Structure 1
Amino acid sequence: MSSTDISERYLRFAEEAAGSSPLYATLARAVADDALLCESISALPERCHQPNLLFAAVQYVTGSAPASGTDLSARTSVHWDDISATMRSRYTQTNEANRCSALLFGLHDLPGPLAVVEVGASAGLCLQLDRYTYRYTGADLATLGTGPCPLTCELQPGARAPQRIPDIVWRAGLDQNPLDVTDQDDVRWLRSLVWPGMQTRLERLDSAIRVARTAPPRIDRGDLVQDLPALLDEVPEGTTPVVLHSAVLAYVDAGTVRDFLDVVEQAGAVRVGIESRKASPALADHAGSESANFTWGSFVLDRDGCVLAHCESYGSWLAPVES
């Protein structure tokens, strides 16, 4: 990707992020206007071109988010070797526990007990979904669970809260770069991925990490196609095998997605996922129409190809299919 392409990518990100983080929108525009920085970014592997990755790396290396474009330029000039090394070694593994408030809609009515495998598990915070408290507001009011980490979701008209938290008796994660909730550097990276000003998200992350540390999840290093079959073979008899994923499939190509779906089907597992409209397998047959009209923040919850709901990317709201 050329430096011009990098500039255009950061301008697009600035438009998308403006409603959620005016600061990140400002920083992205500053990057787009900085020819030397765009050139430096373009020299990195393509997966390192993501704006999220750069801004998280700056936070990780320097200890905080830049206050302005000028501040960003100064930090990248002084610390570029460390920042670029972090971008090469780290990934945008935002492990948002609140996505469980949407994933629960795909799990609550499955016959139990459940054996859950999460691909792209990061630090495994979504594997702890039976250990949280869920507070649903809006069109339907409900509180489920008694865990110390509260998750919230506003239900849009027509949506009804899940009836129960499933019984999960076995769980494991799979990730190409597993993070460890007991490792301070990994935790610092997870905190760096939270956008500036999102204090509620940061507090929720810290709370979810404390929950996970009481029983650190098993996260194997591996590929969602090559290594998933062996992990599913470990699922205990008498359980319903479930494969979870959230904001993962946009990072792999279409062929890999098809192979992943085949692996899940051949294993007889239930697949529950939250993905962007562009990446959702449930909308794969509509490429160029609905799936191409991706709205920032709008994701699709599906189970085995059937769309269950639309939701915000971090599960803060959920709407039924007809909305």
Structure 2
Amino acid sequence: MTEAIARIYRRFAEVEARDRSPVYAEIAAHVAGDADILGFLAGLPAEKWQPNLLFGAVQYLTGPVPGLREFRARFAAHTDEIRAAMLARTTQTNEPARCATLLPALAALPQPLALLEVGASAGLCLQPDRYGYDFGQVRIPGELVLPCRANDVVPLPARVPEVVWRAGLDLNPLDVRDPGDCAWLEALIWPGEEARLPRLRTALEIARRDPPPVHRGDLRSDFAALAAEAPRDATLVVFHTAVLIYLREPADRSAFAETVAASGAVWLANESPRSIPGVAAEHDAVLARDGFVLARDGEPIAWTDPHGTWIEWL
């Protein structure tokens, strides 16, 4: 079991964190060879093994982690509290900049829109109409302007979409008015990416004025009932980012795709291509590079940065 956990942390160090957070890359590489920490993780349910959850729990309890030495000291001093936080929390990075990579697809749909996000966390990605955007060639003003590099063929919109209904679904919804939940979202920001923190705080301020409703539920069993509440005179859009990877069984992913299709909604999946039903099997080319793929109704339409900083239309 510990070797399986070590592989997760080695991959995180070598692939996910290498270019984004040298601090987390070093810590993850250390965890992969630390028998005590691997044993600690082995005592948790498998869904709690993720590096983001461990590292987020340490930062949540002790503040930003500047390096490996501090991480080791804090882990040793707060092991029990870290275990409790990992069991109580889930990885729920709610990066509002992801709206920039969704915007071209949303703006191209018949307006107005009814938005339903699964894995919505605090609902910060449910308010694409409340942000501004800077794509270089096109700039849309707003209180919070999200910069995003776009290639020449992205169909850039001139305005934000019209949203008349929005709702989220999450196993553990976060409340934008709860200081503990907001602190958890801040703790999930990686060392080296502190520039994301002011953006998160501003998005939270915007959301507190009119909190997007995020309902507690499981996308495998509760999606259809929530989708049925959407107004019939709006285009229903079901979307998600970095959610399907947490459905361990491919059959659950396929069943969800079928349920979305049956609802009549437009389906926007912004995920690892291996997580989207049908994409890996039918589009081998999208597996040749790292990153997320944005797919509409199962068809890839763009490459995207997982944190929303760039989009490459196909």
- Matched with 1:5 is 4
Over 3 Å counting, the alpha-carbon distance change for 1:259 and 1:192 in structure 2 is: same
Contact 2:20/2:192, CA 8 A, preserved across alignment: no
Counterparts of 1:220 and 1:105 in 2: how far apart (Å)?
26
Contact 1:52/1:193, CA 8 A, preserved across alignment: yes
- Matched with 1:216 is 211
- Matched with 1:311 is 304
Q: Which amino acid is 2:165 matched to? A: W
**Which of 192, 200, 206 matches 1:197?**
192
What TM-score, normalized by structure 1, do the two folds share?
A: 0.93
- Matched with 2:227 is 232
* Secondary structure at the counterpart of residue 115 of structure 1: strand
Residues 219-274 of structure 1: per-residue CA shift (max 9 Å, x gap): 00001121111111111121111111111111102111111111111111111121
Q: Which amino acid is 1:245 matched to? A: H
Counterparts of 2:152 and 2:234 in 1: how far apart (Å)?
34
Q: Which amino acid is 1:317 matched to? A: W
Counterparts of 2:271 and 2:210 in 1: how far apart (Å)?
27
Residues 285-306 of structure 1: per-residue CA shift (max 9 Å, x gap): 248x4455451xx110111112
Provide the alpha-carbon RMSD of the alignment: 1.5
Residues 76-133 of structure 1: per-residue CA shift (max 9 Å, x gap): 1110111011111111110010010011121101111111111000000000110000
Over 3 Å counting, the alpha-carbon distance change for 1:290 and 1:250 in structure 2 is: farther
1:120 aligns with 2:155: no
1:279 aligns with 2:303: no
Aligned residue pair count: 312
Q: Which amino acid is 1:125 matched to? A: L
Q: Which amino acid is 1:285 matched to? A: A
Over 3 Å counting, the alpha-carbon distance change for 1:91 and 1:291 in structure 2 is: farther
Counterparts of 2:153 and 2:132 in 1: how far apart (Å)?
22
Contact 2:23/2:68, CA 8 A, preserved across alignment: no
The 5 Å alignment of 1:78-89 reads 78-89=77-88
- Matched with 1:300 is 293
The structural deviation recorded for 1:162 is 2.5
Residues 7-48 of structure 1: per-residue CA shift (max 9 Å, x gap): 222112111111111000111122122111111111110011
The 5 Å alignment of 1:85-100 reads 85-100=84-99
* Secondary structure at the counterpart of residue 107 of structure 1: helix
Residues 134-159 of structure 1: per-residue CA shift (max 9 Å, x gap): 1102xxx1012x43111111012433
Q: Which amino acid is 2:255 matched to? A: D
What TM-score, normalized by structure 2, do the two folds share?
A: 0.95
The 5 Å alignment of 1:111-260 reads 111-137=110-136, 141-144=137-140, 146-252=141-247, 253-260=249-256
Q: Which amino acid is 2:309 matched to? A: S
Contact 1:3/1:38, CA 8 A, preserved across alignment: yes
User: Which 5+ residue runs of structure 1 have no aligned equivalent?
Assistant: none
Contact 2:144/2:203, CA 8 A, preserved across alignment: yes
* Secondary structure at the counterpart of residue 176 of structure 2: coil
- Matched with 1:61 is 61
Contact 1:101/1:151, CA 8 A, preserved across alignment: yes
The structural deviation recorded for 1:311 is 1.1
Counterparts of 1:200 and 1:74 in 2: how far apart (Å)?
26
What is the percentage of aligned positions where both structures have the same residue?
Answer: 44
1:270 aligns with 2:269: no
Residues 172-229 of structure 1: per-residue CA shift (max 9 Å, x gap): 1000010000000000000000001212211111111011011011000001121111
Q: Which amino acid is 1:205 matched to? A: L
Q: Which moved more, 1:230-239 or 1:127-136?
A: 230-239
* Secondary structure at the counterpart of residue 281 of structure 1: coil
